[in-house]
Amino acid sequence: MNAPAQVMLTRGLLAEVAEQFGYPVPEELATALGQVPRHHFLPETVWVRDGQGGYRPINRSTDPGEWMAAAYADQTLVTQFTDGLPTSSASMPSMVLRMLQLTKVTAPDGSRQQPFSVMELGTGTGFNAALLCALLGQGAVTTVEVDAVLAEQGERNLKAAGYVPTVVQGDAARGYPGSAPFARVLATFSVDQIPLAWIAQTAPGGRIVTPWTSAWCCYGTLALTVSASGAAEGRFHDFASFMPMRPSSEQDTANGAAAQAIAAEEAKSATELSPWAVAGGDLDAEFHLGLTVPGAFFSWDTTGEHAPVRLCVEDTTSTSWATVDYDGANSTEFTVTQAGPRQLWNEIAVAYASWEKSGRPDVDRHGLTVRADGRHSLWLDSPDRPLVDDRVLPPG
């Protein structure tokens, strides 16, 4: 592709990103995006949503125009499948740039910060690492990738683009002590707990930014500041949905265990809480439930085998399960069935009522403190207002 064509495509992408932001892309980020052509970091085949819940491939050789248009569109592109599931992707450029803004690798006016080191966790295609190199200099960047194939490919992509940061093939949960301490740690995948290694490898006053996930809801981005005592504290932010750090085997175990628990004693009741209120796409409510009802996850059954619509709730930590049935006519009362050591629907109802009582707080009002011993404490508005009687997550 010639230079004028690339400039035009980059301008179009910047316009899309600015529309997402609601303001012009800061000059330093726009310059970095112009220096790092996205298409150089994509494989011959990428996959996009097909509009029917799946993905369709776009091949550079057979569909060069569509492939290039996809490369410079503000959309997520799947770049790797494993066992039929997407396991690596090129994130939306607007999301990438928002993460860089939140990480504070540039000043509020877009100018470059003083030189400091940054550890990226999840190299993937190498695109984000290249942006960091363009912003900070390649000597300041360490990037860690658990997948050996992706690490090798990412390093090749970076070298082809003229960047030679430190590329490490290893477990991102362990970070990379060889280049620590870092002023910034940035993950490109979601987690439900902060590994202590990340905090230990971040300099006091440094910043950790990572997408967040829970069994209930994969959404939100967490930004933490590390203290000299080895603790970290910060708020969640209302954007981003990223693939998890590693596939969860717990959910498969819970599915099987819950199926076995069906024969256990069942408790039936009725509820006025609509299943759509807690699992119908209200991300503020679902994010709150993910924090306050740990381990619970849901699926919808619309086959009509048991009810016209059924919400199925299960637990990654036990054999507990619950179902909430809509009979197709009554939208003010629903039939609940529960079994197992946890009364999952009761927990969800209590957590949802607490969310409403607190004024239906959005994602940004939630925060997290990671203590020096690894205990994770969730809070609302400020650390002195703990969530659900100071529910504490176990250390990772």
Q: DSSP letters of 221-288? A: EEEEEE-TTS-EEEEEES-----BSS--HHHHHHHHHHHHHTTS--EEEEE-S-HHHHHSS-HHHHHH
Per DSSP, what are the bridge partners of residue 324?
311, 336
DSSP SS3 for 127:
helix
- CA 64 to chain CA mean position, Å: 30
How do the domains of the chain map onto residue ranges? 3-237, 249-357
Report the distance separating Cα 99 and Cα 221, nearest Å: 8
| The CATH number of domain 249-357 is 3.30.160 | yes
Cα dist from 94 to 13, 90, 253, whole Å: 9, 11, 36
Report the distance separating Cα 127 and Cα 112, nearest Å: 19
Task: Assess whether 241 carries a catalytic annotation.
Answer: no
- DSSP code of 372? T
Q: What is the pLDDT along the chain (396 residues), one digit of tens a residue?
A: 677 788 899 999 999 999 999 999 999 999 999 999 999 999 999 999 988 889 999 999 999 999 999 999 999 999 988 888 888 889 999 999 999 999 998 755 555 555 589 999 999 999 999 999 999 999 999 999 999 999 999 999 999 999 999 999 999 999 999 999 999 999 999 999 999 999 999 999 999 999 999 999 999 999 999 999 999 999 999 988 888 885 433 334 444 444 444 456 899 999 999 999 999 999 999 999 999 999 999 999 999 999 999 999 999 989 999 999 999 999 999 999 999 999 999 999 999 999 999 999 999 999 999 999 999 999 999 999 998 643 444 444
- DSSP code of 60? T
Report the distance separating Cα 345 and Cα 339, nearest Å: 10
pTM: 0.89
User: b/e for 295-307, b at 16 or more Cβ within 10 A?
Assistant: bbbbeeeeeeeeb
Per DSSP, what are the bridge partners of residue 270?
335
Cα dist from 60 to 26, 57, 81, 231, whole Å: 31, 10, 17, 47
Q: How many CB atoms lie under 10 A from the CB of residue 199?
A: 22
Q: Which of 88, 91, 94, 179 is catalytic?
A: 91
Q: According to CATH, what is the number of the domain 3-237?
A: 3.40.50.150
Pairing between β-strand 77-82 and β-strand 55-59 as defined by DSSP bridges:
unpaired
Helix axis angle for 344-357 and 283-292, nearest 10°, is 120
* CA-based torsion, 209, 210, 216, 218: positive or negative: positive
